[in-house]
């Protein structure tokens, strides 16, 4: 499938002399990349022969050799890395969240940037990852769970509903807006087929509305990053200008992106003929003032949750809870959660989960949740079973294994957690969730 003529004319007008190089770049293949997950140390050494070089603007980004697909790679399933297009790593770098901040990712699925934002928080502060499409929100929750993110909430709301609940609430907000996808045309012929001027106008209108709602949630002195993977000015600069007209308390903030350049006016484009990545647009805006984000009421643990927490600690011995000092155990229905300090309640909002999902209760029985396996540091869990490649393949397919272990056991490969097993009478029963087993039709 070729490129729409109208689109090529627009690009020629936008690029002038640079159009020839751009057109030539469209004939080349893209550059696959992944981002190492710092919440899983040691993954890089295991990717020997796969990673080529570092993505200049993301220290954890790596280009990968041609044709690499994670498939059923245990390292991928253990959250060691996330496949992410190199240019798509730019917006979260520009937002640059720091540990302890409250961060909102408003258009978050499938979660590449949310994972990157959570990694930057290093487990301190929290991330609200929102996605209004419910199917995509579930995929987002699954990806964050696989990456071992504990200090995030996954919401499934439209921006206006969130903005009513959380005015002035976040230090940093990312709007990675749904767009016409011109920057992805090279990799994704389907987006080319869907392109039309009318679609561009429709996207621009929707983005403008999203951006206005996002601005309502930035605290005075806070940051807002607006990004798209498209080139036209209607969806990019013109939306930023519209926001600045509506909200004079926001101003563009200059920034530099290594390997790309300086954004003196707060806006930067990533062009496929200038960098090794697809097309992207990133704008950084700062709200004037300096008030801290409001403090949400401290959540108190209920007696039941405290009791269940104690029970869980005896079922899964080790000092794994140490990084979660100051977090609050709470029940939501029959699920036991651990909430990071400062996280608000999401009453009345569609919330797929907030904090770390610790365990599920069924009558008097408590079962550690898969999310706990993915978020706990394996070195701090006492009962572990390291698998060889054959055992690993069997475990990932849902098989049982011979074991000397008794009780709840963290199953690892290369020291990274894959899930739980429960040992009894020489057999390790498989507790990998059915939907995550190889052959279950799970999307990898």
Regarding 58 and contact with ligand SAM (CB under 6 A), the answer is: no
Q: Binding to ligand SAM by residue 159, rule CB under 6 A?
A: yes
**Could you tell me the smallest distance in angstroms from the CB atom of residue 225 to ligand SAM?**
11
Please, which residue, 159 or 378, has the CB nearer to ligand SAM?
A: 159
**Interface with ligand SAM (CB under 6 A), residue from 131, 145, 171, 235:** 131
Q: Which listed range, 72-80, 111-119, 307-315, 433-441, lies at the site for ligand SAM (CB under 6 A)? A: 111-119
Residue nearest to ligand SAM (CB): 107
Q: Which residues pair with 361 in a beta bridge?
A: 366
CB of 88 to ligand SAM, least distance (A): 6
Shortest separation between residue 178's beta carbon and ligand SAM, angstroms? 4
Q: Does 113 bind ligand SAM (CB under 6 A)?
A: yes
The correct pick among 51, 108, 149, 204 for binding ligand SAM (CB under 6 A) is 108
Of 106 and 200, which CB lies nearer to ligand SAM in the complex structure?
106
Residue from the set 132, 183, 272, 421 that interacts with ligand SAM by CB under 6 A: 132
- What's the full length of the chain, in residues? 444
Residue from 112, 123, 340, 353 touching ligand SAM (CB under 6 A): that is 112
Catalytic residues: 229
Closest to ligand SAM by CB, 208 vs 330, is: 208
| Residue 324 Cβ vs ligand SAM, minimum distance, rounded to whole Å | 26
Q: In the sheet where 51-54 sits, what is the strand order?
A: 51-54, 61-64, 33-36, 81-83
What's the closest the beta carbon of residue 213 comes to ligand SAM, in angstroms? 8
Output 58 or 176, the one with its CB closest to ligand SAM.
176
Tell me, residue by residue from 301 to 330, as one string, x for binding to ligand SAM by CB under 6 A and - for no binding: ------------------------------
Least Cβ distance, residue 136 to ligand SAM (angstroms): 5
**What number of chain residues touch ligand SAM (CB under 6 A)?**
19
Q: Toward ligand SAM, which CB reaches closer, 13 or 198?
A: 198
Site stretch for ligand SAM (CB under 6 A), options 30-38, 106-114, 271-279, 322-330: 106-114
Rule CB under 6 A: choose which of 23, 124, 136, 164 binds ligand SAM. 136
Q: Is the peptide bond before 172 cis (omega within 30 degrees of 0)?
A: no
Q: Residue 159 or residue 344: which is nearer to ligand SAM going by CB?
A: 159
- The answer to whether 110 contacts ligand SAM (rule: CB under 6 A) is yes
- The answer to whether residue 109 forms part of the interface with ligand SAM (CB under 6 A) is yes
CA 102 to CA 342: how far, in whole Å?
9
**Among positions 210, 243, 284, 351, the unique one binding ligand SAM when judged by CB under 6 A:** 210
Q: For the chain, what is the HEC assignment?
A: CCCCHHHHHHHHHHHHHHHHHHHHHHHCCCCCEEEECCCCCCCHHHHCCCEEEECCCCCCEEEECCCCCCCCCHHHHCCCEEECCCHHHHHHHHHCCCCCCEEEECCCCCCHHHHHHHHHHCCCCEEEEECCCHHHHHHHHHHHHHCCCCCEEEECCCHHHHHHHCCCCEEEEEEECCCCCHHHCCCCHHHHHHCCHHHHHHHHHHHHHHHHHHHHCEEEEEEEEEEECCCCCCCCHHHHHHHHHHCCCEEECCEEECCCEEECCCEEEECCCCCCCCCEEEEEEEECCCCCCCCCCCCCCCHHHHHHHHHHHHHCCECCCHHHCCCEEEEECCEEEEECCCCCCCCCCCEEEECEEEEEEECCEEEECHHHHHHCCHHHECCEEECCHHHHHHHHCCCCEECCCCEEEEEEECCEEEEEEEEECCEEEECCCHHHCCCCCCCC
Q: Residue 178, interface with ligand SAM (CB under 6 A)?
A: yes
> CB count, 10 Å around CB of 27?
7
Interface with ligand SAM by CB under 6 A: which residues?
Answer: 88, 106-113, 131-133, 136, 158-159, 176, 178, 206, 210
């Amino acid at each position: 499938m070729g490129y729409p003529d109208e689109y090529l004319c627009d690009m020629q007008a936008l690029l002038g002399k640079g159009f020839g190089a751009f057109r030539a770049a469209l004939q080349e293949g893209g550059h696959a990349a992944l981002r190492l997950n710092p919440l899983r140390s040691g993954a890089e050494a295991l990717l020997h022969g796969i990673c080529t070089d570092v993505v200049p603007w993301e220290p954890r980004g790596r280009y990968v050799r041609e044709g690499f697909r994670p498939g059923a790679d245990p390292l991928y399933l253990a959250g060691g890395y996330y496949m992410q297009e190199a240019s798509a790593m730019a917006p979260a770098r520009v937002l640059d969240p720091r540990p302890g901040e409250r961060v909102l990712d408003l258009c978050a699925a499938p979660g590449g940037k949310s994972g990157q934002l959570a990694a930057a928080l290093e487990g301190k502060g929290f991330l609200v990852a929102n996605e209004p499409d419910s199917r995509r929100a579930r995929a987002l929750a699954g990806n964050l769970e696989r990456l071992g993110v504990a200090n995030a909430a996954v919401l499934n709301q439209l921006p206006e509903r969130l903005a009513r609940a959380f005015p002035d609430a976040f230090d940093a907000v990312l709007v990675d807006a749904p767009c016409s996808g011109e920057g992805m045309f090279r990799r994704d012929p389907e987006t080319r087929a869907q392109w039309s001027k009318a679609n561009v106008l429709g996207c621009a209108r929707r983005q403008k509305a999203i951006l206005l709602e996002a601005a309502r949630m930035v605290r005075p002195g806070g940051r807002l990053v607006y990004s798209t993977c498209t080139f036209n000015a209607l969806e990019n600069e013109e939306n930023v200008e519209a926001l600045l007209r509506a909200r004079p308390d926001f101003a563009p903030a200059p920034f530099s992106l290594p390997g790309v350049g300086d954004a003196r006016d707060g806006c930067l484009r990533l062009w496929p003929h200038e960098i090794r990545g697809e097309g992207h647009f990133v704008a950084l805006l700062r709200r004037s003032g300096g008030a801290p984000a409001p403090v949400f009421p401290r959540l108190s643990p209920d007696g039941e949750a405290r009791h269940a927490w104690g029970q869980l600690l005896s079922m899964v011995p080790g000092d794994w809870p140490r990084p979660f000092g100051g977090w609050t155990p709470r029940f939501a229905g029959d699920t036991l959660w651990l909430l990071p300090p400062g996280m608000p309640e999401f009453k009345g909002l569609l919330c797929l989960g907030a904090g770390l999902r610790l365990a599920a209760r069924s009558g008097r029985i408590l079962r550690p949740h898969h999310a706990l396996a993915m978020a706990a540091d394996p070195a701090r869990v006492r009962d572990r079973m390291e698998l060889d490649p054959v055992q690993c393949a069997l475990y990932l397919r849902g098989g049982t294994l011979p074991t000397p272990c008794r009780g709840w056991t963290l199953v690892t490969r290369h020291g990274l957690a894959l899930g739980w097993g429960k040992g009894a009478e020489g057999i390790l029963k498989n507790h990998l969730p059915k939907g995550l087993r190889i052959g279950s039709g799970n999307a990898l």
